[in-house]
Amino acid sequence: MRPVITLTTDYGTNDHLVGVMKGVILTINPDVTIVDITHGVIAHDILDGALAIGQAYQYFPPKTIHVVVVDPGVGTDRRPILAACDQHYFVAPDNGVLSAVYDQTEALKVWHIISEHYFRQPISKTFHGRDIFAPVGAWLSKSWQTSAFGEPITDFTRFAIPKPRVSGNTVRGVVLRVDQFGNLVTNLRVEDVPKLAGNESCTIKAGNAVVKKVVQTFAEGPSGEPVVVIGSSGYLEICINRASAARTLGIGRGTEVTVELG
């Protein structure tokens, strides 16, 4: 069975960077299957990268190696790390970009990668995707010897994905992402607002918009009217049927979302 290596970066696809990473991987291990998760992470945005890999990795086969490079500190003393959990492997800078992965597992091992003979030489100060992360992922897919790459650590960087706050009858969340369709993906889960799922009356506000309806499918939304849908990753999304809620409502990432119950 061919090993699978996934790539998640903020490199975009208009430059040659992603192609170069794939060339480096195939030079080391020509027998891997390489899959792009996305290269459209918002530039330098570690939270956005954390959400991308956190919502995707669990759908890949056991033993998949996920190379995640959102790395504004490339070339500084932030460490390169290797993480193993839940039958998956991750190679990334130690800047918190794996935080959403860590949140989904209890059996987690993390190594500081120090074995430089696995790196591409000379090591640049500006493209560790090519010189460190891609080659380490490729060598791991040949040997599977995690401990050969460095030393176990426990003080790795981890930040909290923004969580909703409850006060009285109000739950306050935030728009975490705007997706391709202009849907506003919030950080509110059904379990944060159980009354929503039970169809009890709630008032949902985001920016100047008031959302009155909770529906099960995008298509149930009346034309032009924002509705709440439970998205495929379990988060509530504010959507408009066949239109971009972000553009129509003038709302983007970071906008506060409040749910008033009853």
Question: Which residues here bind a copy of itself, judged by CB under 8 A?
Answer: 1-2, 4, 6, 8, 10-20, 22-24, 26-27, 30-31, 33-40, 43-44, 52-53, 55-57, 59-61, 64, 72-76, 124-127, 130, 179-182, 216-220, 229-232, 241-242, 244
Q: What count of other Cβ atoms lies within 10 Å of the Cβ of residue 30? A: 8
C-beta of 33 vs 169, nearer to a copy of itself: 33
Show Cβ contacts of residue 210 under 8 Å, excluding neighbours closer than 6 positions: 203, 204
In this structure, are residues 64 and 92 in contact, taking their beta carbons and an 8 Å threshold? Answer: no
Nearest approach in angstroms of CB 64 to a copy of itself is 7
Nearest approach in angstroms of CB 147 to a copy of itself is 26
Q: Which two tokens stand for residue 172?
A: 């306050």
Nearest approach in angstroms of CB 190 to a copy of itself is 12
Nearest approach in angstroms of CB 145 to a copy of itself is 22
C-beta of 212 vs 247, nearer to a copy of itself: 247
String of DSSP letters for 90-101: EEEESSSTTHHH
* Sequence-distant contacts of 213-220: CB under 8 A, at least 24 apart: 218/242
C-beta of 152 vs 234, nearer to a copy of itself: 234
Phi, psi of 168 (to 5 degrees): 60, -125
Nearest approach in angstroms of CB 198 to a copy of itself is 17
C-beta of 64 vs 255, nearer to a copy of itself: 64
Q: Is it true that the peptide bond before 61 is cis, omega within 30 degrees of 0?
A: no
Nearest approach in angstroms of CB 119 to a copy of itself is 14
Listed residue (200, 177, 167) closest to 252, CA to CA: 177
Phi, psi of 238 (to 5 degrees): -95, 120
Neighbouring-strand partners of residue 177? 185
Alpha helices in the chain (DSSP H): 17-28, 46-56, 99-102, 128, 134-143, 194-197, 245-249
Q: Would you say how long the chain is, in residues?
A: 262
C-beta of 17 vs 148, nearer to a copy of itself: 17
C-beta of 4 vs 261, nearer to a copy of itself: 4
Nearest approach in angstroms of CB 138 to a copy of itself is 11
C-beta of 111 vs 130, nearer to a copy of itself: 130
Q: Are strands 65-69 and 88-93 parallel, antiparallel or unpaired?
A: parallel
C-beta of 27 vs 170, nearer to a copy of itself: 27
Whole-number Å distance between alpha carbons of 181 and 63 = 32
Nearest approach in angstroms of CB 244 to a copy of itself is 8
